[in-house]
Amino acid sequence: MSDRPGFPTSIGTSNTTSITLLGHDLAGELMGKVGFAELAYWLMTLRRPTPGELRVFETVLVTLADHGFTPTAIAARLTYVSAPEALQGAVAAGLLGGGSRFLGVTEDAGRFLAAALREAQRQPQSDAEFDEMARVAVARCRDEKRLVPGLGHPVHKDGDPRTPVLIRIATEAGQHGPHLRLFEAIGRVHPEILGRTLPLNGAGVCGAALADAGLPPELLRGVALLARTAGLLGHLAEEMRRPVARAIYDAVDRNVDYIAPEG
Amino acid sequence: MSDRPGFPTSIGTSNTTSITLLGHDLAGELMGKVGFAELAYWLMTLRRPTPGELRVFETVLVTLADHGFTPTAIAARLTYVSAPEALQGAVAAGLLGGGSRFLGVTEDAGRFLAAALREAQRQPQSDAEFDEMARVAVARCRDEKRLVPGLGHPVHKDGDPRTPVLIRIATEAGQHGPHLRLFEAIGRVHPEILGRTLPLNGAGVCGAALADAGLPPELLRGVALLARTAGLLGHLAEEMRRPVARAIYDAVDRNVDYIAPEG
Amino acid sequence: MSDRPGFPTSIGTSNTTSITLLGHDLAGELMGKVGFAELAYWLMTLRRPTPGELRVFETVLVTLADHGFTPTAIAARLTYVSAPEALQGAVAAGLLGGGSRFLGVTEDAGRFLAAALREAQRQPQSDAEFDEMARVAVARCRDEKRLVPGLGHPVHKDGDPRTPVLIRIATEAGQHGPHLRLFEAIGRVHPEILGRTLPLNGAGVCGAALADAGLPPELLRGVALLARTAGLLGHLAEEMRRPVARAIYDAVDRNVDYIAPEG
Amino acid sequence: MSDRPGFPTSIGTSNTTSITLLGHDLAGELMGKVGFAELAYWLMTLRRPTPGELRVFETVLVTLADHGFTPTAIAARLTYVSAPEALQGAVAAGLLGGGSRFLGVTEDAGRFLAAALREAQRQPQSDAEFDEMARVAVARCRDEKRLVPGLGHPVHKDGDPRTPVLIRIATEAGQHGPHLRLFEAIGRVHPEILGRTLPLNGAGVCGAALADAGLPPELLRGVALLARTAGLLGHLAEEMRRPVARAIYDAVDRNVDYIAPEG
């Protein structure tokens, strides 16, 4: 009897003459025949997406790729200027900001919606039933003094422009499922429970749409990270062409107020 | 006169009602209308790719996404098992291996080919002229005791299956330009100079193809990092479904030979 | 009125002729006059430690510096072999495993003990009072099906050798305070509540000792990260002298069982 | 014959009842008996430092721990504000800036001095001989249009206050060896070769002092990373107490000038 450990995988392997990815010959069956976003979906789920799922997935990746000079983009640029020989470090530094506050909302929203649906005795069918489920979920957040994931935005206070567009695309693609319906219901009922009207934000609608498009909730932050990698590369390419990180550093440095600690 | 610093960018910005990316309205002009790989190319170059450029770019991303249980994939899985609550850390740890030895070959090959073409008095036209340029470049590597970037592979000793496929796709897409031609010439002439025949490897042909498809050489490692992010997410998703990192750790730990140092 | 932002700090600043750190002249007042661990404590708390606090702090750093071929050490070595030109990336990859499962225990234990003490109506004085507080805290963990932070160890099942030594040193240093007393009480009372006897582990006792020595609970993971940086540098230095990461990679690669996914 | 791989190490190991570090029993022989900086030196070199070596090592760690709101400190704070639940990510992001531009100087200087000494036919003895070696080394940098590592500083133009203090401490500790002597010689002779007078900077003198104190040149960046970990923890602790990262982000965001790209 062998005590050979054995590490099972279904991702990739190779031998002298071929490379296998997801059970397919990379050179003969995948290169030129599958798109990059399609492959990313497949890698994460071990299932090739349907055209409708792919359309939503690709739209979400585009939606989340960048949002300007975010803290993560600034961190990536500052890291690049300090260690320009190691681009991977600058990308990694940018991704490390992909936690609860910024990129985490997509996953939080997906998990929140999935949990509400999973706990229900029976799945809601009508809008009225989704509204009722939404009322319970929002009220529980209020009672536990938690924010409702996907609700509210510091800038787009009167409506996030991404939200209706993604809902429309998901609908056209036949991917308007229970997570998006529950998310929309939250948009309808939360004012009566919270006493104020907040927008359904873009990160949240992305989480809902990804869940309807077949991505497991625990991978949604990963989708956001993939999207953001493209955005960070955009910032780093721009930093190479027209640097600003040093000017940012100087602007900070010039405005430091030193307060000597006691002792 | 203001001493307002001013940080110019052409990537993204937003106001209360709209989000702008690359000078276009994200919700109205990009979502659902541009693919993710297309957007990534655009972000890195500030130029929307032609269909031919996009086809090559997307094929390269698929080609480089994964190569099995590489050190970077193992590092990502080990990091996940140690800190499962911070997926961004596991992805970042995996990308940090994207340096000179593994992911760096794509950029090294692209830079090497671009430098040879840039230094030439006149651009080669015929295969014979490319062969002559390749002879000079390979001989210089030999004299400087440097490896020729993109030549040789530890496993695919008799030919990397990715290389001819990518060359064919680039040709079909009208992107078979000077970098690929010089790379192929290196494949033809190196045996006479080095005294042995080595394969043109997949990472190298990706670098050549990206350079012909309009990506600046200094961004090629970034393309490899984007591709690898998808592969790492595949490994991490698999680690969630069917964990092996702890077994890897145990297999290492069981086989440690402790050698007490002197003193 | 100025809209100059103003970023207050009490860490460091400099001008043409001097560098100030923690309100002191670096060259004249700190170099050669303060130890590194002492400075690290000071940086984290803005307060120079007493000799007793420093003795506990330094002992904890030594205790947590390394624990062999952990997943984090392996990840650092694998990253180094992939990108040897960027040592910072290998160290960062190793630290990224410093999350909930491995390095997190120190902070979890400190927070757990601090919360129990903070919630109490009056501070316990006698061992009997600490035992009573411990009973409540352990029972609550049991009821909430949570592990008691700092209790149990996969290897040192009959007692972690670090625990009594650190308690002795803290006592000698006059730093045997309420957190350690509560931790010891948990060691005494948990068998009657959980129905089995578990060791007080080294990571947990470090958390208790640091809390008694004046470190805020939210910084305890940071102390573990500082300690582990030294250990990772030890592994990376060894990897330079006598490499094993490639052999680890080969051992994994050789034992991969490929399972083609469906579809 | 076994094909058991076997991974040799001299760092750490453990069994049910004991933990061994560097060949010593952690609980019985190291805890409370060795300092943290001492252990770090030992881990990196497998040799316990002499008191003189330790004094220099510890002084260098203090010297390099922080230098105010550097790009790496800002990157760490911005990462923390984005993902406050993963302190390890913020520390890692800060360390990733420890590349060629900022923390790299220490290692570059150490390598540069070590290479000059290694290439010499005979080791210089007198100041005049060190001056002659320095002239050759500086002239070569000038001819190759490279900067002399350790020479020059953007702020401390008339002299870095750390340099004379570290030289004095090394001398007192009996660690004023060939690397520091060559570094001082560079300080004396460079004006005649470069035509202008530059200060010997603090990062450079740290590299020279560490090399004299027995640290291998390839580990000097590692020493700087360890020092900086303490500084980053100081910044992150301050960010918890009195946040400024969001204000930095706002200051950047407010001053972005958007330039729509063509196309």
pLDDT of D1 reads 41
Do B207 and B105 form a contact (C-beta atoms < 8 A)?
yes
- Nearest Cα to Cα of residue D235 among D107, D123, D91: D91
d(CA C56, CA C64): 12
Residues 6+ apart with CB under 8 A from C19: C12, C13, C25, C26, C27, D67, D161, D162, D202
Burial of A218 (0-12, 13-18, 19+ CB in 10 A): middle
pLDDT of C101 reads 80
Nearest chain B residue (CA) to A28? B165
Nearest chain A residue (CA) to B156? A16
Minimum distance, in Å, between the CA of residue B99 and any CA atom of chain C: 4
pLDDT of B3 reads 64
Instruction: Tell me the backbone φ, ψ of residue A248, rounded to 5 degrees.
Output: -65, -45
Integer-rounded Cα radius of gyration of chain B: 22
Structure tokens that stand for B103 in this block = 């992911």
Q: B236 vs A222: CB contact, 8 Å cut-off?
A: yes
- Nearest Cα to Cα of residue B151 among B101, B201, B195: B201
Structure tokens that stand for B171 in this block = 């040709």
Q: B78 vs C71: CB contact, 8 Å cut-off?
A: yes
Q: Is the dihedral of CA A178, A179, A185, A190 positive or negative?
A: positive
- The conformation of residue C86, written as its DSSP 8-state character, comes to -
Q: A98 vs D81: CB contact, 8 Å cut-off?
A: no
Q: A257 vs C48: CB contact, 8 Å cut-off?
A: no
Do C190 and C148 form a contact (C-beta atoms < 8 A)?
yes
Do C213 and C56 form a contact (C-beta atoms < 8 A)?
yes
Instruction: Look up residue D116 and give its amino acid.
Output: A
d(CA C115, CA C109): 10
User: What residues of chain A have any CB closer than 8 angstroms to a CB in chain C?
Assistant: 4-10, 13, 20, 22-23, 46-48, 83, 85-86, 88-89, 92, 96, 252, 255-263
The separation between CA B252 and the C-alpha centre of its own chain, rounded to angstroms, equals 30
- Nearest Cα to Cα of residue D201 among D190, D212, D213, D215: D190
d(CA D135, CA B146): 30
d(CA C181, CA C113): 10
Instruction: Look up residue C168 and give its amino acid.
Output: R
Q: D19 vs C67: CB contact, 8 Å cut-off?
A: yes
pLDDT of D3 reads 64
- Nearest Cα to Cα of residue D77 among D211, D218, D251: D251
Q: C106-215, what's its fold?
A: Cytochrome p450-Terp; domain 2 (1.10.230)
Do C193 and D182 form a contact (C-beta atoms < 8 A)?
no
Instruction: Tell me the backbone φ, ψ of residue C7, rounded to 5 degrees.
Output: -115, 100
Instruction: Tell me the backbone φ, ψ of residue D200, rounded to 5 degrees.
Output: -80, 115
Give me the count of residues in chain C. Answer: 263
The separation between CA C214 and the C-alpha centre of its own chain, rounded to angstroms, equals 14
Minimum distance, in Å, between the CA of residue B21 and any CA atom of chain D: 9
- Is C139's pLDDT higher than 50? yes
- Nearest Cα to Cα of residue A42 among A16, A13, A10: A10
d(CA B179, CA D205): 45
pLDDT of D100 reads 80
Question: Helix, strand, or coil here: C8?
Answer: strand
Q: Is the dihedral of CA D41, D93, A37, B53 positive or negative?
A: negative
User: Best mutation site among A42, A43, A168, A201 for testing chain B: the one with the most B CBs within 10 Å?
Assistant: A43
d(CA D213, CA D216): 9
- Is B167's pLDDT higher than 90? yes
Domain ranges, ordered by start, for chain D: 36-100+220-248, 106-215
- Is C5's pLDDT higher than 80? no
Residue range B183-215, pLDDT digits in tens: 999 999 999 999 999 999 999 999 999 999 999
d(CA A220, CA A131): 24
Residue range C179-228, pLDDT digits in tens: 999 999 999 999 999 999 999 999 999 999 999 999 999 999 999 999 99
- Is C52's pLDDT higher than 50? yes
- Is C263's pLDDT higher than 70? no
- The conformation of residue D147, written as its DSSP 8-state character, comes to P
Q: D62 vs C36: CB contact, 8 Å cut-off?
A: yes
The separation between CA D163 and the C-alpha centre of its own chain, rounded to angstroms, equals 14
Residue range C97-129, pLDDT digits in tens: 998 887 889 999 999 999 999 998 889 999 999
Structure tokens that stand for D16 in this block = 């049910």
d(CA C136, CA C116): 9
Nearest chain C residue (CA) to B238? C261
- Nearest Cα to Cα of residue A198 among A212, A213, A183, A208: A183
User: Best mutation site among C79, C88, C255, C256 for testing chain B: the one with the most B CBs within 10 Å?
Assistant: C79
pLDDT of A1 reads 41
If phi over 0 gives left and psi between -120 and 50 gives alpha, with beta otherwise, what is residue D12?
beta
pLDDT of A108 reads 96
First vs last C-alpha separation in chain A: 67
> Strand B12-14 and strand D256-258: pairing?
unpaired
Strands in B12-14's sheet, in edge-to-edge order, are B12-14, B19-21, B24-25
Residues 6+ apart with CB under 8 A from D49: D38, D41, D42, D57, D213, D214
Residue range B207-246, pLDDT digits in tens: 999 999 999 999 999 999 999 999 999 999 999 999 999 9
Q: A17 vs B158: CB contact, 8 Å cut-off?
A: yes
- Is B1's pLDDT higher than 70? no
Do D98 and D64 form a contact (C-beta atoms < 8 A)?
no
Question: Helix, strand, or coil here: D7?
Answer: strand
Cα separations (Å) of B75 from B28, C92, C253, D140?
Answer: 40, 12, 13, 41
> Strand A256-258 and strand B7-9: pairing?
unpaired
- For chain A, list residues with pLDDT below 70: 1-3, 263
- The conformation of residue C148, written as its DSSP 8-state character, comes to P
Beta-bridge mates of residue B9 = D258
Cα separations (Å) of A107 from A85, A149, A187, C6?
Answer: 33, 9, 18, 35
> Strand B7-9 and strand D256-258: pairing?
parallel
Instruction: Look up residue D203 and give its amino acid.
Output: A
Do B188 and B131 form a contact (C-beta atoms < 8 A)?
yes
Of C15, C40, C46, the CB nearest to D233: C40
Tens of each residue's pLDDT in chain D, 263 residues:
456 778 999 999 998 899 999 999 999 999 999 999 999 999 999 999 999 999 999 999 999 999 899 999 999 999 999 999 999 999 999 999 998 887 889 999 999 999 999 998 889 999 999 999 999 999 999 999 999 999 999 889 999 999 999 999 999 999 999 999 999 999 999 999 999 999 999 999 999 999 999 999 999 999 999 999 999 999 999 999 999 999 999 999 999 999 999 86
Burial code (b: 16+ CB inside 10 Å, e: under 16) for C159-174 equals bbbbbebbbebbeebe
Residues 6+ apart with CB under 8 A from B156: A14, A16, A17, B199, B201, B202
ipTM: 0.96
Nearest chain A residue (CA) to C24? A260
Do A89 and B96 form a contact (C-beta atoms < 8 A)?
yes
**Which chain C residues have a beta carbon less than 8 Å from that of A9?**
256-259
**What is the pTM (predicted TM-score) of this model?**
0.97
Question: Helix, strand, or coil here: B21?
Answer: strand
- Nearest Cα to Cα of residue D30 among C66, B199, A200: C66
